């Protein structure tokens, strides 16, 4: 039977039970908010896929696409079985969660023990989309030479254990979390609202370790230390992918309020600061590119935009628009010169994921401890702003200490575990495809043939 809306006059003093339960409506709005955010963040996988396809040569198109599908699919399985429990399990443990594995336990049941707790399921979905993002950062950096077996192993371990431990530390009641009620790091906990450190720095550090262990692509660097530009198939895909990532970032940052009822103002301001930092990051890197290269560089615009987004992600809810401007500008410098440093060190990063996510992620965490205003901190976190606001806005310096320690801890954890992981893969199944396969391309050797065979006719397998 069709539902017919009922009319109510302004003098009605009672409402039918089906719509009169304000608490139920409020809860449903919060659940929908998380589902909406999960969809936006998941759609970022489309942006990553387009950006990475545009950055690799035609002969590796299928290979990079199947890895993007795998990041979401393997990530979902690992997040269901282990990752979510490690990240958001029993918060009494400061290092790691110990329950809520495979969507079981009281967290996923309503108070009467029989009905589904919709908010917990929505939270699982939202956090899975973040986990998939962390894995994708690595696959783009080491594209075109990593074996498929190695990819599967590191994706599983990263999303099951390495990344979830950092989530537990920073967001879920672990030792550095600002959401703890007692025993807070420097009395404040880390300001990392949407994950400059938890997500981006973790993924970027993992990518750095992987790139060092696997080595550069054949032909990327000359013996004299100079670098060669290897074939990239589409500036169009790169730019479209970047714009899609910007679109999805409104879910990444804005929906990290986790609730919309009572937090709509925080979410709106968060989306504004996200926009401003992204814009200034893009403009800054384009200007730096013009100065360094002598021309207006589209690649610099794309990565500068992403740098600004990563840089503001930690402090997006606690800074003012002018703070977001400064964060975006400095993110442009951090990206530009860390990218140059990697080339000097002969570290090959196909999509410049390491400068964008690792270095700008670390800057973003530190920036959040400088630019958090007392009012914004109080709205986004708890009533301890006099002590925990940013150093530039009257804070006591506790936030700087907490965020700096968090940067050091995440660096130590990810570098240690990922170095062991990638070295273990290298000594067992092997990290890298053989030289002949790299020259031919992995589409021919592993995925049934070229995507555009007509475009490869008469060309060498460069």
Per residue in 90-116, pLDDT tens? 867 789 998 889 988 777 876 555 556
Q: What is the C-alpha to C-alpha distance for residues 421 and 155, in angstroms, rounded to an integer? A: 11
Q: Is the pTM of this model over 0.95?
A: no
Taking alpha carbons only, the member of 261, 270, 267, 347 closest to residue 313 is 270
H helix intervals, 158-234: 163-170, 202-214
pLDDT at residue number 1: 40
Please name every residue paired with 221 in a beta bridge, in sequence order, or none if there are none: 227
* CA 441 remoteness from chain centre: 28
Q: For the CA atoms of the chain, what is the radius of gyration?
A: 23
| Residue 64 confidence (pLDDT) above 50 | yes
pLDDT at residue number 4: 39
What are the phi and psi torsion angles at 227 (to 5°)?
A: -110, 145
pLDDT at residue number 389: 96
Q: What is the C-alpha to C-alpha distance for residues 431 and 425, in angstroms, rounded to an integer? A: 6
Per residue in 349-362, pLDDT tens? 999 999 999 999 99
Higher pLDDT, 26 or 7: 26
Taking alpha carbons only, the member of 313, 258, 301, 375 closest to residue 133 is 313
What are the phi and psi torsion angles at 67 (to 5°)?
A: -70, -35
| Residue 52 confidence (pLDDT) above 90 | yes
Taking alpha carbons only, the member of 237, 196, 203, 267 closest to residue 40 is 267
> What 3-state DSSP class applies to 365?
helix
Confidence band for 403, pLDDT divided at 50, 70 and 90: very high
pLDDT at residue number 24: 81
Q: What is the C-alpha to C-alpha distance for residues 332 and 324, in angstroms, rounded to an integer? A: 12
Please name every residue paired with 431 in a beta bridge, in sequence order, or none if there are none: none
pLDDT at residue number 461: 41
- The four Cα atoms 74, 167, 93, 162 give a dihedral, to 10 degrees, of 50
pLDDT at residue number 20: 47
Contact 284, 329 (CB under 8 A): yes
Burial of 218 (0-12, 13-18, 19+ CB in 10 A): middle
Contact 66, 139 (CB under 8 A): no
| Residue 86 confidence (pLDDT) above 80 | yes
Average pLDDT value for residue range 82-94: 87
| Residue 181 confidence (pLDDT) above 70 | yes
Contact 259, 26 (CB under 8 A): no
pLDDT at residue number 112: 55
pLDDT at residue number 90: 82
Domains and CATH numbers, the chain: 25-452 (1.10.3430.10)
Residue owning tokens 């890895």 = 67
Average pLDDT value for residue range 273-294: 96
């Amino acid at each position: 039977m069709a539902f017919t809306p009922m009319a109510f006059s302004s003098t009605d003093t009672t409402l039918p039970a089906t719509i009169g339960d304000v608490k139920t409506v409020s809860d449903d709005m919060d659940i929908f908010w998380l589902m909406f955010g999960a969809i936006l963040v998941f759609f970022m996988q489309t942006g990553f896929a387009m950006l990475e396809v545009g950055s690799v040569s035609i002969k590796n198109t299928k290979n990079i696409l199947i890895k993007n599908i795998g990041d979401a699919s393997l990530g979902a399985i690992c997040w269901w079985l282990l990752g979510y429990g490690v990240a958001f399990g029993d918060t009494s443990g400061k290092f790691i969660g110990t329950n809520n594995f495979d969507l079981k336990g009281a967290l996923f049941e309503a108070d009467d023990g029989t009905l589904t707790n919709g908010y917990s399921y929505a939270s699982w979905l939202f956090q899975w989309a973040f986990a998939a993002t962390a894995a994708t950062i690595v696959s783009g950096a080491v594209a075109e030479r990593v074996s498929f077996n190695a990819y599967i192993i590191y994706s599983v371990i990263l999303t099951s254990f390495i990344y979830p431990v950092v989530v537990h530390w920073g967001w879920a009641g672990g030792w550095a979390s600002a959401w703890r009620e007692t025993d807070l790091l420097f009395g404040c906990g880390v300001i990392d609202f949407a994950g400059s450190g938890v997500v981006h720095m973790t993924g970027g550090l993992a990518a750095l370790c992987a790139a060092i262990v696997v080595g550069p692509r054949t032909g990327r660097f000359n013996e004299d230390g100079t670098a060669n530009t290897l074939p990239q198939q589409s500036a169009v895909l790169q730019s479209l992918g970047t714009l899609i990532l910007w679109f999805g970032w409104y879910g990444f940052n804005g929906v990290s309020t986790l609730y919309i009822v009572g937090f709509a103002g925080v979410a709106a301001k968060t989306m504004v600061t996200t926009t401003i930092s992204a814009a200034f990051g893009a403009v800054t890197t384009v200007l730096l590119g013009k100065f360094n290269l002598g021309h207006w560089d589209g690649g610099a615009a794309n990565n500068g935009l992403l740098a600004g987004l990563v840089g503001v992600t930690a402090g997006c809810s606690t800074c003012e628009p002018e703070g977001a401007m400064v964060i975006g500008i400095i993110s442009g410098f951090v990206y530009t010169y860390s990218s140059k440093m990697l080339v000097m060190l002969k570290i090959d990063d196909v999509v410049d994921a390491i400068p964008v996510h690792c270095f700008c992620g670390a800057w973003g965490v530190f920036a959040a401890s400088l630019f958090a205003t007392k009012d914004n901190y109080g709205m986004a976190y708890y009533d301890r702003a006099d002590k925990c606001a940013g150093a530039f806005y009257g804070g006591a310096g506790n936030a700087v200490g907490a965020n700096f320690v968090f940067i050091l801890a995440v660096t130590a954890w990810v570098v240690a575990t990922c170095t062991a992981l990638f070295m273990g893969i290298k000594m067992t199944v092997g990290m890298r495809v053989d030289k002949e396969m790299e020259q031919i391309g992995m589409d021919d050797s592993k995925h049934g043939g070229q995507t555009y065979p007509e475009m490869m006719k008469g060309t060498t397998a460069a």
